A and B are shown apart, each in its own frame.
Chain A
């Protein structure tokens, strides 16, 4: 693991990997969207509006998965101080927030025809909105620090913030079980799925596709942060030589 914490070794792997993740991700998302919109029947009760789940569910999982990996990066930063962990956390925050926002937006669009309301303050929706604000806070916090001078690593405060914010993830997951809520209970659990197979399979395509896209965005952003750091370091050296 230490071997990959070196930015040069990381780049040697990330550079060829990025276009594969990106290309495969786009293909799978398009295939899943096509299948979800044309190849499967609507739901017996909701009709066509149920099809939004092929975007909503991957967005929710990636929004939550994003913060989970961000918290791991924070822990690694705090304990082992690997140079790449802070860069990874910075890179994850923006797509994580984007997918959380996508989850809230698609949920709201689905909620109006299904429940009869755009927004309600039930446990699931409120905790997901808190996740969006956590991402916004993390991005503001890390942009405010001079990341380039630290080689992209997180300050102790930002790393602790990432760890403490992780407590919201199990709360989102359990919110529909602990409290009675407007949002339905979990459809896909370890014991199986209450989404019928006839409607379920395009979700596999979009889930994998959006995950690969997420990975590609993270790799691209990490490479950009590393490149920025190198430019900044070179400019500093030049400035020192002129003195």
Chain B
């Protein structure tokens, strides 16, 4: 075996080893590196009351209710399988709205409501001109 081939085999073996280590590390991080938890995970007991966490989900249709103080809103975050009621006092991003994604920083309250300190809007991967808004019914639902 020529020295060149030896080096090639060595480099490829090392590369496979490093890639394997990377994949193992990434899959071990699967839960830890998640940016937010979904309503299913929250209801499955992954959120202790009072623990700081992020909740991500779609804002359920017709669920946004503005409270009488004019600043507090309540809505329902859903992932299609489970729903969590959310309460937030403050200004939401322009893109926050019903049937679109959002991520909230906050804590679970003992009554099962998620109290948010901050809300971010999540955009999905669809881009289209305004006159096409009526069309997405035949497209797949945006993943959250």
Contacts and interface: CB of A to CB of B under 8 A. Distances in A.
Interface of A: 40-46, 50, 53, 75, 78-80, 113-117, 120-123, 160, 163-164, 167, 170-171, 174, 178-182, 184-187, 194-196, 198-200
Nearest to B15: A163
Nearest to A75: B11
A46 B123 contact: yes
Nearest to A74: B11
A198 B15 CA distance: 42
Contacts of B15: 75, 163
Interface of B: 4, 7-8, 11, 14-15, 18-19, 21-22, 26-27, 29-30, 33-36, 38, 56, 92-96, 100, 103, 119-133, 139, 143-144
A122 B129 CA distance: 28
A184 B120 CA distance: 13
B35 A79 contact: no
Given A167-B21, A195-B127, A196-B129, 17 more contacts: A41-B131, A43-B128, A50-B127, A79-B4, A79-B7, A113-B93, A114-B121, A123-B34, A167-B22, A178-B27, A179-B30, A180-B36, A182-B35, A184-B123, A187-B125, A194-B139, A195-B126
Nearest to B126: A194
Contact of B11 (A78, A179, A186): A78
Interface of A, helix, strand, loop or mixed by DSSP: loop
22 contacts: A43-B130, A44-B128, A45-B95, A46-B95, A53-B127, A79-B8, A114-B95, A115-B120, A116-B92, A164-B18, A167-B18, A178-B33, A180-B56, A182-B103, A185-B124, A186-B125, A194-B125, A194-B126, A194-B139, A195-B127, A196-B128, A200-B127
A208 to B, nearest CB: 19
**Which 9 A-B pairs rank lowest in CB-CB distance, beginning with the nearest?**
A116-B93, A196-B128, A41-B129, A122-B35, A167-B22, A195-B127, A187-B125, A44-B130, A184-B125
Which of B36, B56, B126, B144 is packed against the most chain A CB atoms within 10 Å?
B126
Contacts of A115: 93, 95, 120-123
B125 A180 contact: no
Contacts of A123: 33-35
